[in-house]
Amino acid sequence: MTKFTLFAATAAALTLTACASMGGGGGGAHLGKPLKAADYTAILADACRPAADKADDEARKPAALLEFAAVRPGSTVLEMEVGRGWMTELLSKAVGPNGKVITQNPAEFAYSAPAMAARRKDGCLANVTDITSHFDDLSKIPDHSVDNALWILGPHETYFHPNGANLGDPAKSFSELRRVLKKGGTLVIMDHAADASAPTTIAQTLHRIPPAAAMKLAVDAGFKLEAKSDLLANPQDDRTKPVFNNTIRRHTDQFLWKFKS
């Protein structure tokens, strides 16, 4: 049994209590088994995680989401649109000291850099590398070098233009994801669902995307759908409210899909 297999086999084997233990490194040829939801018990309880992050766990269901994503110890993971780093904390520990997380965020999302800097205090996120770019420019990442890519609550942003800015061409963004993923690599996308009849421009006001539009972007880029999950589906959401509306925030109807490159 390799150390990576042992890591994935039981939460007790996850040496996650000290942030400083998360050394850098890249994914190797010998990857551990995908982590199961139960393996995230120690990760979710880790002392490094801010209380505000933990308060979101019930609504966001990170353990089940990451089990669906099939993240493995030792792998290289690309997190698109890192935001304030809520998911980054979990991915950093899931891939372990021999894995690597690459985070991407547009410069226009100015709140991200200080939030990520705060998370790096006390040696946390030592295996995380940040890149600043538009969604359609992953040129700092070599071809076929990424095992898993996750774009959580973000594909709609390619149709969102804050202050008139273009954050990246939608089709090219997915083509770039296909380029950086290894053959057989996994892409997981999740987003707030808009009504099926809504135009993609609805992202500008509601921060949602019609599921069919997101599916087309992935399929046109050459991805093959492997699985769907209703983990964060909410049929009570009529899909007409902005996602930040207090009556629906954290409980929007969200689609969750996994593709193979």
Task: Tell me: pLDDT of 2 over 80.
Answer: no
For the domain covering 3-260, report its CATH number.
3.40.50.150
How far is Cα 251 from Cα 193, in angstroms, rounded to an integer?
A: 11
Q: Where does the pLDDT of residue 94 fall: very low under 50, low under 70, confident under 90, or very high at 90 and above?
A: very high
In the block, which residue shows the tokens 């990170």?
62
Task: Tell me: pLDDT of 112 over 90.
Answer: yes
Q: Which of 32, 27, 25 has the alpha carbon at shortest distance from 144?
A: 27
Radius of gyration of the chain (CA): 17
Residue 30 is predicted with a pLDDT of: 65
Percentage of residues in the chain having pLDDT higher than 70: 89
Task: Tell me: pLDDT of 127 over 70.
Answer: yes
Q: Where are the domains of the chain?
A: 3-260
Question: Mapping DSSP to helix (H, G, I), strand (E, B) and coil, where does residue 143 land?
Answer: coil
Write the DSSP assignment of 167-232 as a string of letters. Answer: ---HHHHHHHHHHHEEEEEEEEEEEEBPPTTS-GGGHHHH--B-HHHHHHHHHHTT-EEEEEE-TT
pLDDT in tens, 17-42: 334 333 334 334 569 999 999 999 99
Task: Tell me: pLDDT of 15 over 60.
Answer: no
Mean pLDDT of 126-134: 96
